[in-house]
Chain A
Amino acid sequence: MALVELRNVSKIYQLGGEEIRALDDVSLDIDSGEFISIIGPSGSGKSTLMHILGCLDSPSKGTIQLDGVMIQNASARELAAMRNRKIGFVFQFFNLLPKLNVTQNVELPMIYSGINGKERRKRALAALEAVDLVNRAKHRPSQLSGGQQQRVAIARALVNDPRIIFADEPTGNLDSHTGDAILSLFRRLSQEGRTIVLVTHDPEIAAVTPRRIEIRDGKIATKVDLTLAGLAGRQTAANLSQPSPSA
């Protein structure tokens, strides 16, 4: 059984009487241990897909099974528990709490899962070790560089040992060098057996993942755009004389 099973999922918004299909009849399986990227231009519905996969949002139609639990009709409390125990998020803008120090930020998910103080500290330090930031444990987020902040965010995503990690444009706010470091961190985590879903518009970033899913107009594109999917190299893309989306 796949870790995530999406079956005929649609998300429909009513906007001024007009029906907008952010997701239209999407079916998708993600296996445990997969490293997968969801790619698509802005407005394609990839963020909506990630929100639904990440239990931040509920679909209008269709069924989702995450780690054996059907979540399409789950209550807000059950969704919160799923986010807390089975899902880790890494965001473009890091989303650390500025008033808390690095350790406290990493401990945050464990507070909501009710783990006691000693255990929290231990696991937070272990997670910081995994992202190589133990020496910054007492710093405030504002005292760290962008890359360091993103590593804190990854540590926070890891700390509750989730079944799946969603990274939404994790390098979007970083320079390319730091971005590469973050991507290699994800690759390493993938090699350690974690399931990671990378959401991006950038084919170069998508290129690091073995599996790519392209979303266009709320649907999974059947014909994969090689350039967009990052399957073609940079030169190839130029040879195809298509306007590169990343340009």
Chain B
Amino acid sequence: MAAPEPEAPTTAPTRAKDHSPWNWLLFIPIVVPLIPAFFNGDSPRVFGFPRFYWLQLAFILLGVGTTTLVYQMTKKRGGR
């Protein structure tokens, strides 16, 4: 609250709870797995898996990592 508004709405602190900038990180695991240029190829292979398969399976870890980070950062009393 930089600007000293005389009539600041009293609900503002509650609203901020879900408006944490950390939430924007969640768009990474939504957007990245939907860009075929990243994964639609054969090489390099890992344990015999073409890139198409191992990279998409690896995106699962990207999703887990991001949701865990955002959860930790936005937990009650945690990220503020």
**Is A bound to B?**
no
